Amino acid sequence: MIYPRFMKTGDCIGICAPSDGRTAEVDIIRHKSAVAQLKQAGFGVKEAGEIFQSERGRSAAADVRANALKSLIIDPKVRAIVAESGGDYLCEALPYLKDSADILRADPKWVQGYSDTTNLTYSVTTCLDIASIYSHNLGDFGMVPWHQSITENVDLWQGKLFAGNDQTFAHDSYERYQHGWLQRETGLEPYEFNSDVKIFGVDANGKRAEQLGASGRWIGGCLDSIVCLIGTPYEDGAGFARRYKDDGVLWFLESFELSSPMLTRALWQMRESGAFENAKGFVFGRPAIFNMQYDTDYETAVLDALAPLHVPVVFEADIGHQPPRIPMVCGAVGSFELKGEKLTISQKLKS
């Protein structure tokens, strides 16, 4: 596993909109606030492409979006690339990025985002063995003041989270989270924690358990996006599972709007593709939207597909669409441990 170098003061953060762009006034204000605060934190900022544009869910044509991203990949001053937002159509840009793989291998840099940005992070890590970050898109950096999870994200870029004796970043689950989307008025609003975090898990036999744990190499992202990539040249989950079989694989997954049958089918497809070979455990984030069908709740829909693997599964973790978000390094070695309703996730940048 290749880890991009940590960022230093003065290094540049590249911003583009490889999926959808921003047009609402409050989102543009939030973007400008994010840029200002990142500069205040000591970074340079380079914006590329049509960030403030959206047509049918796309910031621009696929090749235009790809070229904007490519301009950040080839710029040696850019050490991290953060997606402006998620969306639905980032996959369309991937065919235009094939010639960027060798450039990124020669000069690895952090690629970050969540939701539809999974098309990038998952592809970069499973196909190129370059670590990526499943965490905030740019808009979250625009809140005032920054939440702890945002500060941790910045600390991750700089290597501060891995500065201990064993260079391991361990994070306990939060107590509260934001359920749903806020109606913004200023664009600078912080998270509104309106719900209690209630994490639970099942053991290898599919039974509820108070204590669970597993270790391995982390990989994952938004399931809606990953399943779109299976069978294309832009993912290699099965190869990742084989290459890191000695470590075992830990999966962190979350869904945006999968219904009960769609969730089961997506996980079944990943399982049958070979991606879940050597899986040691799963951690699921809170879904953004879940439509229960056939009287099948989220837990049951997941276990319908994963029960044959006989590994522990944790639900309702601080990963994905419903913040706060623990920054997850795709490719890092680590573990999870559940004690009661408290989940501890650890990550170590081990090659």
> Which residue, 254, 326, 324, is CA-closest to 288?
254
Q: How many Å is the Cα radius of gyration of the chain? A: 19
Please identify, among 131, 146, 162, the residue that sits at the C-terminal boundary of a domain. 162
Task: Examine the domain organization and report whether 18 and 149 are in the same domain.
Answer: yes
Looking at the structure, do residues 136 and 190 belong to the same domain, yes or no?
no
Nearest to 160 by CA among 50, 321, 7: 7
**% of the chain residues with pLDDT over 90:** 98
- Give the model confidence (pLDDT) of 52-96 as tens digits: 999 999 999 999 999 999 999 999 999 999 999 999 999 999 999
- Mean pLDDT score, 255-276: 98
DSSP character for 231?
A: T
Q: Are residues 155 and 173 in the same domain?
A: no
262 assigned to some structural domain: yes
235 shares a domain with 108:
no
Count of domains forming the chain: 2
- Within a domain: 1: no
pLDDT digits (tens, 9 = 90+) for 184-199: 999 999 999 999 999 9
Q: Is the pLDDT of residue 164 over 80?
A: no
pLDDT of residue 163: 78
Structure tokens at 126: 């499973």
The pLDDT of residue 266 is above 70 = yes
Q: Do residues 157 and 274 share a domain? A: no
Instruction: Map residue 156 onto helix, strand or coil.
Output: helix
Same domain, yes or no: 132 and 190: no
Q: Kindly indicate the confidence band of residue 165, based on its pLDDT and cuts at 50, 70 and 90.
A: low
CATH of the domain at 218: 3.50.30.60
Co-location of 158 and 195 in the same domain: no
> Which of 132, 162, 192 is where one domain is finished?
162
Q: State the average pLDDT over residues 305-326.
A: 98
- Mapped onto helix, strand or coil, the DSSP state of residue 65 is helix
pLDDT tens digit string along 107-137?
A: 999 999 999 999 999 999 999 999 999 999 9
Mean pLDDT of 31-46: 98
Domain with 130 in it: 12-162
Same domain, 303 and 184: yes
Quick one: tokens of 64? 């235009």
Distance of alpha carbon 249 from alpha carbon 46, whole angstroms: 35
Final residue before a domain boundary, out of 162, 191, 209: 162
**Position 221 in a domain:** yes
Instruction: Map tokens 């969306």 to a residue.
Output: 87
Q: Is the pTM of this model over 0.85?
A: yes
Answer for the pair 266, 258: CB distance below 8 angstroms, yes or no: yes
User: 149 and 204 share a domain?
Assistant: no
What the block records as the tokens of 265 is 């089918």
- Cα–Cα distance, 150 to 112 (Å, whole number): 13
Cis peptide leading into residue 145 (ω within 30°): yes
